[in-house]
Chains A and B, each alone.
Chain A
Amino acid sequence: MAIITVENLVKTYTTYKRGSGFRETVKSFFKRKKVVVNAVNDISFEIPEGQICGLLGPNGAGKSTTVKMLCGALYPTSGRIEAAGFSPARDRRHYVHEIGAVFGQKSQLIWDIPPEDSFNLNRAIYDIPRSDYNERLANMTKLLDVADVVKKPTRVLSLGERMKCEFIMAMLHAPKIVFLDEPTIGLDVIAKASVREFIANMNKQGTTFILTTHDLDDVCELAERVIIINKGDKVFDGELEGLQHYLGRKKIIELTLAKPLTDETGLNIIERRSDLQITIEADMERVSIREFLQNLSTTLKITDISVKELPMERIIADIYKK
């Protein structure tokens, strides 16, 4: 069952263009040029309950605007959103009981006091029964290993500790849907792993996650499905495996040669680290990997070979460029 349904979602807003330099600054005092921005352009999708869906796109693609509309913080210009049975912007006050959000660059914790006190404020706001609150807090602090951290002032916490507390803040009221906007930005590998494990754990308990990130490892480790938005348009919507084959069934082959290459005919060399170390790209839709390697071994003297899938970064970058 779809917990989020988005139909023909459009968001346009007006901004002002201002030139640089003294003359333009003075001019802008009297006359500013209006610019209409199509941030989101006729997007439709459905998210089933319990899914982790990655929302990807380059900077300024419209993904944060989409998430803000899904959270109810922005009114769509046109189109329809139904999430957990509500129209997010119209029924915001009821709807937000059902959602949580973690913004990697915007804190919900109160800076000068321990996270535990911020959690208490949320307990009052969401009217969480004391027993539920205590149980959830104990569970989450244990899962994230922050039992002592939540008692220290937020301002003295490391970024990783703070982010873990942001997760608790967003999930104490047991939301059905959680929006994550760059949740692992700036975190070290250990903190990232811990946060990802927490998300996976909560997802197993039925929480739906919408994950906006530039960290493809987050997507590869967590998301079953990916939606890519570019210039306000949806350019890909499918499973991670489908994304892997978006540019065709290509593979990356790293070769170490016994002697330098003399004839490059038929090879798509994408990197040449030295005369003896090259990386080529092969399209498995044109020729099977077995046949390709057989051909290589007849024309080249190879001492080492490594076959890899096309890196996700490359696929995403190609989609972004389109």
Chain B
Amino acid sequence: MNAEYRGENTEYRKKHTHHGFGRVYLAGIGASMKSAAAYRVNFLLMNLFDLVWAVAAPLVTILIYGSGASFPGWTFWEVMLMQGLFELSSALCAVFVENIVWSTMNHVREGSLETVLLKPMPPILYMVSTSFRLDSFGGLLGGLVLTLIAAGNCEIMAISLPLCILIFAAGFAVNSAASLISAAASFKWVANSRLSEIRMSFENFGIYPVKIFPSALRFAVTFILPYAAMGCFPAEILLGRFDYINILLIIPAALFLMFAIWFYNHMIRLYEGVGG
């Protein structure tokens, strides 16, 4: 058999291993945008709904502070900043990663994952590139608006922005990893929409200041599943009250993401399709 065929030829491998993920991702986004544009009313309604949802999310906070109560040590606008950052993180995940849960579930239920496995790139990358959701952009915009308005009403330490971005990225990684694990679980737990609800229940730990939680739970959302990195810690960094020991959360965040990627790939390997 031809050595080049066998992939022993390094040039051949190089040629066929270079996926140009960025190029594929842009093409995937292009296809998603065209798909979204095909249903304009749905696209507008979804964005509007997400925008309203993102802006209305702090309603509970407004009620709490309106009644004279508060989260200890946090002013109204500081909580708004934290929740704006949380909405931003959550919406980023919804736009770029979360749809992989539904795409995977549909492929597994319909037995059509072969069409993904036929592509010359890691299935996880293909699924992420084609799962871009333009109709969740409203949430992104709502989160951004809320964050900027709240930041304008707080004393922000601009110098701490790089650290804030790092921890914010760790929060995004944690939420994305949870989406990947939900998606991977659907290989065995076929067509179960509860998976996303479970994931969202965990996500909600990131919307409140960690100090209101009992110490065990506080440790869990900081160093086991660092959901606090979605909203609370980035806000604390910008407000100059971050406990720097918590930087260590980037380790469990990275490990969690690595585990999620491994788990997704492992479940793909176990995939056996449905009857032909």
| Interface residues, chain A, with chain B CB atoms under 8 Å away | 13, 60, 63-65, 67-68, 71-75, 82, 84-86, 91-94, 96-101, 103, 106-108, 110-113, 117-118, 120-121, 123-127, 153, 181, 212
Contact = CB atoms under 8 A, between A and B. Distances in A.
B6 interface: yes
Given A113-B34, A113-B35, A124-B23, A99 B272 contact: no
A125 B120 contact: yes
Contacts of B110: 106
B273 A117 contact: no
Contact of B31 (A85, A91, A108, A110): A110
Contacts of B23: 124, 127
A107 B119 CA distance: 14
Contacts of A60: 275
B169 interface: no
B13 interface: yes
B20 A124 contact: yes
Contact of A73 (B1, B28, B121, B273): B273
Interface string B85-96: 000000000000
Contacts of A125: 19, 24, 27, 119-121, 126
A214 B121 CA distance: 32
Nearest to B18: A127
A96 B110 CA distance: 22
A86, A94, A100: which has the most chain B beta carbons within 10 Å?
A: A94
Contact of B5 (A13, A73, A84): A84
Contacts, number: 119
From DSSP, what is the main secondary structure of chain A's interface residues? mixed
A71 B118 contact: yes
B35 A68 contact: no
B114 A101 contact: yes
Contacts of B126: 125
From DSSP, what is the main secondary structure of chain B's interface residues? loop
B121 A68 contact: no
A85 B2 contact: yes
A161 to B, nearest CB: 18
Contact of A112 (B27, B38, B113): B38
B118 A96 contact: yes
A113 B31 contact: yes
Given A101-B114, A121-B28, A124-B23, A67 B120 contact: no
A13 B122 CA distance: 24
12 contacts: A67-B276, A73-B118, A85-B4, A91-B7, A93-B17, A93-B122, A94-B7, A103-B112, A106-B110, A106-B114, A107-B112, A113-B31
B194 interface: no
A118 B276 contact: no
B120 A96 contact: yes
B67 interface: no
Contacts of A86: 5-7
Contacts of A99: 118
A117 B24 contact: no
Interface string B1-41: 11011110000010011111001101110110011001100
Nearest to B3: A85
Contacts of B35: 110-113
B6 A85 contact: yes
A31 B67 CA distance: 53
B126 to A, nearest CB: 7
Contacts of A111: 35
A13 B272 CA distance: 8
B99 to A, nearest CB: 14
Given A65-B273, A68-B276, A85-B6, 19 more contacts: A71-B114, A72-B117, A72-B118, A73-B114, A73-B118, A73-B271, A74-B271, A84-B5, A85-B4, A86-B5, A92-B117, A93-B122, A98-B5, A107-B115, A112-B35, A113-B31, A121-B27, A121-B30, A181-B276
B27 A85 contact: no
